[in-house]
Chain A
């Protein structure tokens, strides 16, 4: 299986009046074609920043280091124009809140026509509309919705239309940033099922960014757990859930409340501030298994076990 996206030593640092905020630090990640990579973590861990960094959607005060290799090219070294060309064509992104992502003043068909013609000015509106109808059928939205405005549609339908807009150019990778957080559980399951069937048809890989461990367990092939801007653990889904190795992953899985929960557990303490430089493991203050070395030395990623799990922890 070949890799569709390779992140190497990716770091994102925001310059703020109080000092540098290390939103993402030294992340290595590889996504194989046709697979779903789940990127999980809680609020503030840097997962959304990572997703946007790939597409160069960060504000001007973000300083990115490292490399983002896609289709043989390093996205970080491309010009803004070249990135704009790739974005929405070969690499697409859907966001959390479908309510605010569509232009309330434009009909749905104009969204499609504008998107298509932004990449291919030569395409005629009629042909763009035909392509729009094709992708709408793929996401099971009746084509009469093309004449409507976003506020006339339900949340689930808007999210499907967002997905359809991404599929127009058959991207190799779709980044989904909390795509179902604002939706109800039945709708969430429907959208994920839809994504799965589309992936097969379009031979597309998905980076699923979410805080919902259940989603990741149901749909992802591989899981990367982020904490304080770094990858704490990464590996194939089944072994990772069966035997989590990083203490944070263990704590996170224990604190999930599902239908079988009989006892509540929460990880003590709060996530650290990302302001300024830090030493040692960021999880040190909250870790039940901490050792003296963890306070001063940052644990590099090691490969552990038969499934070659990546773990950033001194225990291994």
Chain B
């Protein structure tokens, strides 16, 4: 078997989510948009491969990664057997002569400040003119370039070329602009053209012309297309093979004809069913998947389509989040919502992967547990079958409790230790005590996984600020409102230490510390009244990967 023109192996493209400055300093967890999350496909020379999916599925990201506009996070891209995953600048320049991109919006793809003739000429000036042998030679003169552009415009149907050379993009129609873009691309004689929704922005009555045009170009220049679209009807007409994408993964891939005739993956079926047919005599009752495409930052567990799938199994990946979504939908009916209020509202439930829990008061625990069991029984369906256990446990203490303990201990220990070492140079050890206490408490309070240098740095800066301003207590109160609960305790403990000059004053400092701890303990006791929680635990889902089924690959536990 000949080597494929393009071979993509387990490609992943993740984008970091940037949270606010303070949150980042506190290390609030790394969130990533899993735009492309393990995609493998290969395109043979001369074929039209369709990448089909709704917005947000990752297909445009793949297009951009292939031409080097976006950096792959992991995986491999092979072009003619050569690894082009991370081309360095010179390699990228050459690569662009082999892989090119046609954009969805032809108007945005052309500079409004240049005539379209100039736009194409610019490319030829930079990359040189193509020769018969496939080499590229620098243009000898402006006349040679203009002649080449005229040739290209003639090829793409913009005749007479001399007329169109001087036009600006806003003087042309959508179809004409798209032809200019195609011409600009063809100037480089690429082998692979990635066409990202090339006709989506054109009117229906001209779409056919553009598609025919693309097929003519393909025949004339021996092109290979990676055709990206959300329009299944166009893909069916144009493509030899297709891959259906959902939330960063390919769920079904194979010959276009058989997939359309006999779609296997439930998402493919849903897409095909949802397309409105321009024939009113064939209206039918559509069974649509529930809900919308979820967030690519936290994709569903197991099969990403399972929360919406009409034929999901209990092993498809049900988890805590699905339970909360189920409750939300169930309680859209105000009747049920008021009757089952003891188990609600939905945001009283906290999900952590396969487990979801709701805190309850000790006297209510049996009632709520029974109610939840009844709700799950009534729900039925694969999610209910995936519930492994419903029980009552001791509640987990809120995060800030840990913060108090750590912070207080750190502050007092740190202060004492440093005081012993540094004697009565209280200034410095006070700072150290406060910094350690703040850092640890704030980190835990914010749910950080570790204390980052940023946290410690923030503590130092704030302490110094406070000391110089002479009003650490005021600053503390301000910080407290930001959530640094424990800092009041810390500083009440450390403030006197900072200015202490005698053991007596240090004793007063520790008294303040104890006072602060007492306040915190009272608050803790109040919160711990709700000291139990009802827990719903789900079965571990079956592992999932693409499987060869007849003439295609499908990623679904049904097969």
Contacts and interface: CB of A to CB of B under 8 A. Distances in A.
Interface of A: 42-43, 137, 140, 142, 144, 154-157, 184-190, 193, 211-220, 237-238, 241-242, 251-253, 255-259, 261, 264-267, 270
Nearest to B237: A261
B274 A42 contact: no
B82 interface: no
B233 A259 contact: yes
B520 interface: no
Given A193-B286, A237-B280, A140 B332 contact: yes
A255 B204 contact: yes
Contact of A144 (B203, B334, B347): B347
A238 to B, nearest CB: 5
A261 B537 CA distance: 49
Contacts of A251: 205
B348 to A, nearest CB: 11
B277 interface: yes
- Among A137, A154, A259, the one with the most B-chain Cβ atoms within 10 Å of its Cβ is A259
Contacts, number: 128
B270 interface: yes
Interface residues of B, number: 46
Given A144-B347, A154-B292, A190-B288, A266 B280 contact: no
Interface in B330-380: 331-334, 345-347
B55 interface: yes
Contacts of A259: 232-233, 236, 260, 272, 275, 277
B134 interface: no
A217 B204 contact: no
Interface in B265-299: 270-272, 274-281, 283, 286, 288-289, 292-293
Given A144-B346, A185-B230, A264-B208, A214 B277 contact: yes
A214 B237 contact: no
A214 B208 contact: no
Contact of A185 (B237, B271, B280, B281): B271
A184 B276 contact: no
A214 B272 contact: no
B280 A142 contact: no
B127 interface: no
Contact of A266 (B209, B272, B334): B209
A186 B280 CA distance: 19
Most buried by B among A185, A219, A252, A264: A185
6 contacts: A187-B54, A214-B277, A215-B276, A238-B281, A264-B211, A264-B237
Contacts of A214: 275-278
A154 B281 CA distance: 33
**Residue with the highest number of chain B CB atoms closer than 10 Å, among A137, A188, A214, A257:** A257
Most chain A CB within 10 A, of B54, B232, B275, B280, is at B280
A267 B205 contact: yes
B278 A217 contact: yes
Given A186-B288, A259-B260, A42 B203 contact: yes
Contacts of A215: 276
Given A43-B203, A213-B278, A259-B275, 5 more contacts: A156-B292, A184-B54, A189-B286, A256-B204, A266-B212
A272 to B, nearest CB: 12
Contacts of B281: 238, 241-242
Interface of B: 54-55, 173, 203-209, 211-212, 230-234, 236-237, 260, 270-272, 274-281, 283, 286, 288-289, 292-293, 328-329, 331-334, 345-347
Given A184-B54, A252-B204, A238 B280 contact: yes
Nearest to B260: A259
Interface SS of chain A: helix, strand, loop or mixed? helix
A125 to B, nearest CB: 20
Contacts of A144: 328, 345-347
Contacts of A193: 286, 288
A258 B280 contact: no
A155 B173 CA distance: 29
Given A186-B288, A217-B277, A241-B279, A142 B271 contact: no
B105 to A, nearest CB: 14
B275 A184 contact: no
A44 to B, nearest CB: 9
Report the 4 A-B pairs with minimum CB-CB distance, sorted nearest first: A214-B276, A184-B54, A264-B208, A266-B208
Contacts of A187: 54, 292
B55 A265 contact: no
Contacts of A189: 274, 276, 286, 288
Given A137-B332, A142-B328, A218-B283, A261 B346 contact: no
Contacts of A216: 278
Contacts of A219: 276
Nearest to A252: B205
Given A142-B332, A184-B230, A265 B278 contact: no
Nearest to B201: A43
A265 B275 contact: no
Nearest to B199: A257
Contacts of A185: 54, 230, 232, 271, 274-275
A142 B346 contact: yes
Contacts of A238: 280-281
A283 to B, nearest CB: 11
B245 to A, nearest CB: 12
Contacts of A266: 205-209, 212
Contacts of B334: 137
A47 to B, nearest CB: 13
A270 B236 contact: no
A218 B277 contact: yes
Nearest to B210: A266
Contacts of B234: 257
Nearest to A143: B332
Contacts of B331: 142
Nearest to B206: A266
Nearest to A156: B292
A186 B277 contact: no
B283 A186 contact: no
Contact of A42 (B204, B230, B289): B204
B55 A184 contact: yes
Nearest to A251: B205
Contacts of B231: 257
Most buried by B among A42, A43, A186: A186
B83 to A, nearest CB: 34
B199 to A, nearest CB: 9
Contact of B271 (A186, A213, A264): A186
